[in-house]
Structure 1
């Protein structure tokens, strides 16, 4: 196996527009790999240090919350089901939550693909917690990348990492031309000046005061010198200390009489702007105060651009500036710094020779070369991968149920299922092969299988029959249209190239349910592929019910992967569409989204309730509850014995007209009961549990004809209620409507307090 097999890479770290060096590096390495290997799909999973997050680019697929360890586990689930070939994790103690950044371990422990970790800090004298975290990171990673030779030595000598597990890869740098500094000086109004430069996020450990203290001696001989300090104050420093450090530097410059020679650019500059600043510099200075720095992006950038560099002897500078690529001066020694700067300013030939040596060395560090090295490391990691699937999840026993709900009987469900999937229709209780199969019924059956798995006993859910229904869904997907085909005849011939908008939304509901709730990783893997491929088509559909079913699936998916930005964005768009429909249509006597009630009506308020809770959005919750209240009242019978009486399919209910009483469909009872259970979870109001139970009793005979739809002998459900009798055929949709409603009530008993309320 080599790097050509790496088709999907996820980069975990910080990401622009967050302002920090790790964010810049993660973005650069991700984009470099994507550019060098266009056949490889690259995604990013950044860590947010604020609740609001950042306006990330589309490359970002999932966001982690720094201090929420559960978000790290959800990110692991997201990566596992998205068939990622390699995870490239950026390790720096300060960007992850927990003691010494230990929250990242919760993610790494759950991953089932190879991990390549880039270490941005390797401490020579770690605290006990720092040592523990790094040692576990090293153990969980298949490859470790360091950006200095000293880092390799520290890993082997201090942390006991085998040298064959370590890859030395330079810090990447932009590929810029070797130009004369004067070419860019006019951009900053420093024509004719000798420019000294330091850049990076400002904080007290950067040692900028050492350079300002050296300026009087430098300017005495070279009054044309200006010192440019480029970079905003570090956001965390700004939050806790404000601009006190920058202000202290300005006061020092004024005190020493060099304020006119110091230029502050107090902003976080783009890469293009940074290259211009570097190009305009004659000398670059890194006056850091601490030797324990194993890498520095700012130093790498300037060496790669062919700048003459003067630096304190921190670890990375000693290595990168060796062999005449720069000069060093002691920490905090402004006199020594002034001496080095003056020598380079006085001796132009020496300065230009240093620049050339640095530039030639930097050719090994440009991002295309670094991307190639990373892909080689990914390939080695894939070859050496040692990950295995985690154990299954515990499930609740099936026999924890109340006595007043009928027992679960799956005989007819199994009878209607063959090697292909769920057969669409039945003659009485006999499968009707003439009618073949539909995607809708297999999607419903897949949802029912997931619900059933949550109630099963033993060693966890079995692959059957869920795998059969999921296989049908997989086969139904048409990659040419990005949609699911709907109808298949019994000879397994597809009868269409794409199904309806509703069936597409319903299938997304099923896939999202598998991803959010099913415990078998192998099924979640294929469901994840289909969900990702099919979801982009739903915003182009026009059916509100299709949107609503898709929203149910999206929220099931977000149970496990709430940080997925793409899915959240589609969720928000669909939810807002439903809100706009409701605002446009609602009146005092018609609290609905359209000018008619048709089929699967309750799925619309159900979707609104879920969006209102998860986004969260108070108006959406209010819309969901108001419309569900109104629908419940419309679907109540007249007379003393109030029972569920759904809108009939023989004419439906057009605004201002008469509602159709028949034919009443079992699917209406299911979506209504499901929405009422969601309303109960949302509000805790027992009236909604009462409404859910009342709706379920429609199947058992508490309906307009006082006749049962459910057949306890076969385990099937009759296809509807005519004006004078039930429809005796027991098709897939009807049977699944009953089974799903029963399963949801069973789960409510186990998971909702007072779930057995009458």
Structure 2
């Protein structure tokens, strides 16, 4: 098959990593894979470096023109973001190819056009039940669940040691998160949780990996709470999962979360996880794979991190259950095979005589 992936994000977050892993797996299975993306963005840069054919445009007009003129040259169009879904649906009369959309977020969907585009896509794929439920609210019932995937975490000891020295965390426990500094991740609640944990114990530092439009507001809250020596900012780090060997506990404070691929990295790296129960996170941490507290509950989150830092036999069992689960359910092979079976079914349906 000839597959066109579509992702118009400028930065690099969990969804972009999933797009890239999909591309690599589809190519490894013998299919031709191109990417339609934003010029100057991280996806264009990394896809070119990995040898993919990249079609990059700076604006909507370029994307629409490409889909109208060249979309018919592909067997399947696979938009990975909401904007790309809109544009793939709007140009259907020209390309007339199956459109498969990967829904990776769980926030509520609203609007007449939103309803239209979800009812005019060939297949919606959700990465969790929480994501699927947000689409079912529009009256779309045919939704396939294909969970996100992660590669086994391979620690980079030299890089980890260098970062530990840079941050000055030697001899202290490290609690950390990898998330954008944006409202959906609730970083202000996270600062409050770290303050509550610091009131319980002083043998740890918290390290935040990520960037976003709330960076300055969050730093102000850290100063207000007197946490300048406790709450550290490491910024965006490429291949951050290689640094998970530094972590004693991994934390998610999200208000909304489609699934939480960084939690899967923590599972793979055998790092215990404390999280809110937002969206797909409660699915990941079910069955004793982590500790869940309600969205917005900073005290509850702090208490759970405190428990995990004690590294009891209960925590060891939790970590092993999570490690087994991620290898069984969230392998890149399982994810890619799920999509390829779906693509082949849609291609055969299109080619069948009517």
TM-score range, shorter chain: 0.7 to 0.9
Q: 1:279 and 2:248 equivalent?
A: no
Matches within 5 A, 1:51-200: 55=45, 57=48, 58-68=51-61, 71-81=63-73, 84-90=74-80, 92-93=81-82, 95-96=83-84, 102-121=86-105, 123-124=107-108, 126-137=110-121, 141=122, 143-156=123-136, 158-162=138-142, 166-176=143-153, 186-189=161-164, 190-200=169-179
Q: 1:270 and 2:247 equivalent?
A: no
Which residue of structure 1 aligns with residue 191 of structure 2?
212
SS at match of 1:385: helix
CA contact (8 A) 1:115 1:381 kept: no
C-alpha displacement of 1:299? 3.0
User: Partners in 2 of 1:75 and 1:133 — Cα distance?
Assistant: 16
Q: 1:31 and 2:24 equivalent?
A: yes
C-alpha displacement of 1:109? 3.8
User: Partners in 2 of 1:217 and 1:156 — Cα distance?
Assistant: 38
C-alpha displacement of 1:125? 5.0
Which residue of structure 2 aligns with residue 338 of structure 1?
302
User: Partners in 2 of 1:131 and 1:372 — Cα distance?
Assistant: 29
Task: Name segments (4+ residues, structure 1) moved above 6 Å.
Answer: 181-184
CA contact (8 A) 2:175 2:205 kept: yes
CA contact (8 A) 1:184 1:279 kept: no
Q: 1:351 and 2:342 equivalent?
A: no
Matches within 5 A, 1:388-399: none
RMSD of the alignment, in Å? 3.1
Could you report, residue by residue, the CA deviation over 1:458-487 in whole angstroms, capped at 9, with x for unpaired residues? xxxxxxxxxxxxxxxxxxxxxxxxxxxxxx
User: Partners in 1 of 2:202 and 2:338 — Cα distance?
Assistant: 45
Closer, same or farther: CA 120–383 of 1 in aligned 2, 3 Å: same
User: Partners in 1 of 2:246 and 2:204 — Cα distance?
Assistant: 13
TM-score scaled to structure 1, two decimals?
0.42
C-alpha displacement of 1:356? 1.2
User: Partners in 1 of 2:301 and 2:159 — Cα distance?
Assistant: 25
CA contact (8 A) 1:306 1:362 kept: no
Could you report, residue by residue, the CA deviation over 1:655-712 in whole angstroms, capped at 9, with x for unpaired residues? xxxxxxxxxxxxxxxxxxxxxxxxxxxxxxxxxxxxxxxxxxxxxxxxxxxxxxxxxx
Closer, same or farther: CA 49–314 of 1 in aligned 2, 3 Å: farther
C-alpha displacement of 1:264? 0.5
SS at match of 2:102: strand
Could you report, residue by residue, the CA deviation over 1:366-393 in whole angstroms, capped at 9, with x for unpaired residues? 22332222222222222222699xxxxx
User: Partners in 2 of 1:210 and 1:194 — Cα distance?
Assistant: 21
User: Partners in 2 of 1:159 and 1:26 — Cα distance?
Assistant: 26
Question: Which structure has the larger Rg over C-alpha atoms?
Answer: 1
Q: Which segments of 5 or more consecutive residues in structure 1 lack a partner in the other structure? A: 1-5, 238-244, 389-758
Matches within 5 A, 1:512-527: none
User: Partners in 2 of 1:288 and 1:102 — Cα distance?
Assistant: 26
User: Partners in 1 of 2:352 and 2:54 — Cα distance?
Assistant: 23
User: Partners in 2 of 1:223 and 1:183 — Cα distance?
Assistant: 27
Q: 1:42 and 2:42 equivalent?
A: no
C-alpha displacement of 1:324? 0.8
Matches within 5 A, 1:446-465: none
Higher relative contact order (CA 8 A, sep 6+): 2
User: Partners in 2 of 1:49 and 1:106 — Cα distance?
Assistant: 24
The count of corresponding residues between Structure 1 and Structure 2 is 345
- Give the structure with the higher percent strand: 2
Which residue of structure 2 aligns with residue 691 of structure 1?
none
User: Partners in 1 of 2:13 and 2:131 — Cα distance?
Assistant: 21
Matches within 5 A, 1:685-696: none
Closer, same or farther: CA 215–301 of 1 in aligned 2, 3 Å: same
C-alpha displacement of 1:49? 8.4
Could you report, residue by residue, the CA deviation over 1:504-526 in whole angstroms, capped at 9, with x for unpaired residues? xxxxxxxxxxxxxxxxxxxxxxx
CA contact (8 A) 2:67 2:95 kept: no
CA contact (8 A) 1:313 1:329 kept: yes
User: Partners in 2 of 1:30 and 1:284 — Cα distance?
Assistant: 28
Which one of the candidate residues 211, 217, 226 is aligned to 2:205?
226
Matches within 5 A, 1:438-517: none
CA contact (8 A) 2:205 2:231 kept: yes
C-alpha displacement of 1:147? 0.7
User: Partners in 2 of 1:361 and 1:183 — Cα distance?
Assistant: 28
User: Partners in 2 of 1:110 and 1:123 — Cα distance?
Assistant: 31
TM-score scaled to structure 2, two decimals?
0.85
Closer, same or farther: CA 335–277 of 1 in aligned 2, 3 Å: same
